Amino acid sequence: AAIEKGGYEHFMLKEIFEQPQTIYDSLRGRLSLNPAQLTLSGITQFGNELSQAKRIVILACGTSWHAALWAEYIIEELCRIQVEVDYASEYRYRNPIIEKGDVIIAISQSGETADTLVALEKAKQQGAIILGVVNAVGSSIARLSDAGAYTHAGPEIGVASTKAFTAQLTVLHLIALKIAELKGSITAEKFTQQLTELAAIPEKVQQILSTQHEKIKLIAKKYKDAKDFLFLGRGYSFPIALEGALKLKEISYIHAEGYPAAEMKHGPIALVDEHLPVVFIATKDFYHEKIMSNMQEIRARKGQVLAIVTEGDELSKEIAQDYIEIPAADEMLSPILSTIPLQLLSYYIGVELGLDVDKPRNLAKSVTVE
């Protein structure tokens, strides 16, 4: 097992550190620059249906559902197609409306999640086209899909998903760009800019891993005894706040809630006192000013602010008690980068607490029963 872990103490840590490579692998053979080109044959095959689609429904569970929620923001922005995201377990028992020309995207690491599989069977029977974003090659969901794009993250052993999630975000972004290109909803300039930004992501992930992990270890020591955590983000970073909270719950058994930052005043703010760490995704984007005032609101109530900030953002660093810096990136893609420190934070808190981070209690890698 030590050899399999490649010198890392746990599979989870190994898989977190693999991400520069796995993200690169999910781009390889698909993205090229000068001239900017994107090859996704499975998606292109349904080019007509996708460019004419009135609606895309994304179905998933767990971490994959967070990738789905992020994709909603990206697809609506780039493709101007209405997107609905549903938990597969809810969708399968509802009486869902499927209209002619609806496209379903299924997201699954294992490709074997029972709820997702049954939800897809149901949609397929009603005539929907199914596109799979799956990691496990040849899995049940991959076979059921009409077409798709594999995430190519390689086998994921840690029960809590890490590298599979960032590969999902990467591939979903590629799919959104492909649909936008086919549909003509993106300018050539923006298309090139997005592909160029995406191509730079693996190196930026590497930079975060190399420069921030020691610091995150110290931050984990400081916060490990907290009973509750709040994770806040807005826009493209809101789904990442949910994923940050889920990861912490899974690995450390500390109660954590993810929320859209502006929504905190409608409830979670009541929890804020000197014992509550609030993790903010406060990178430079459209919402930055607003997020800074949200951080100030927490400080004013004596909460502890831990912020993920863009390198060199002195103002945010001043507001937060603790901060983790990540390189600047396009605001749609920056969430891929913000995910990395949140994974490390959960990992190190779990390790500090002496827990079995690779196999948390009560959880299964793949939930093949209802």
Taking CB atoms, the residue at the shortest distance from ligand G6P is: 62
CB of residue 153 to ligand G6P, shortest distance in Å: 11
159 binding ligand G6P? (CB under 6 A): yes
Query: Could you tell me if 295 and 316 are in contact, meaning their C-beta atoms sit under 8 angstroms apart?
Result: yes
Say which of 5, 124, 224, 365 is annotated catalytic. Answer: 365
List Cα–Cα distances, 321 to 89, 117, 295, 351, in angstroms: 39, 44, 10, 23
Phi, psi of 317, deg, nearest 5:
-60, -35
363 binding ligand G6P? (CB under 6 A): yes
How far, in Å, CA of 237 to CA of 341, rounded?
13
222 is catalytic: no
137 binding ligand G6P? (CB under 6 A): no
- Segment lying near ligand G6P (by CB under 6 A), choices 13-21, 62-70, 192-200, 261-269: 62-70
List Cα–Cα distances, 113 to 107, 119, 332, in angstroms: 10, 10, 28
108 binding ligand G6P? (CB under 6 A): yes
- Segment lying near ligand G6P (by CB under 6 A), choices 14-22, 55-63, 95-103, 177-185: 55-63
**What is the total count of residues that contact ligand G6P (CB under 6 A)?**
17
Whose Cβ is closer to ligand G6P: residue 145's or residue 161's? 161
304 binding ligand G6P? (CB under 6 A): no
110 binding ligand G6P? (CB under 6 A): yes
Q: Terminal CA-to-CA distance of the chain, rounded, Å?
A: 31
H-only helix segments in the chain: 11-17, 19-27, 41-44, 47-52, 62-79, 88-91, 114-125, 140-144, 163-183, 188-199, 201-223, 238-252, 288-300, 314-319, 334-352
188 binding ligand G6P? (CB under 6 A): no
Binding site for ligand G6P (CB under 6 A): 61-64, 108-110, 113, 116, 159-161, 363-367
Hey, which residues are catalytic here?
365
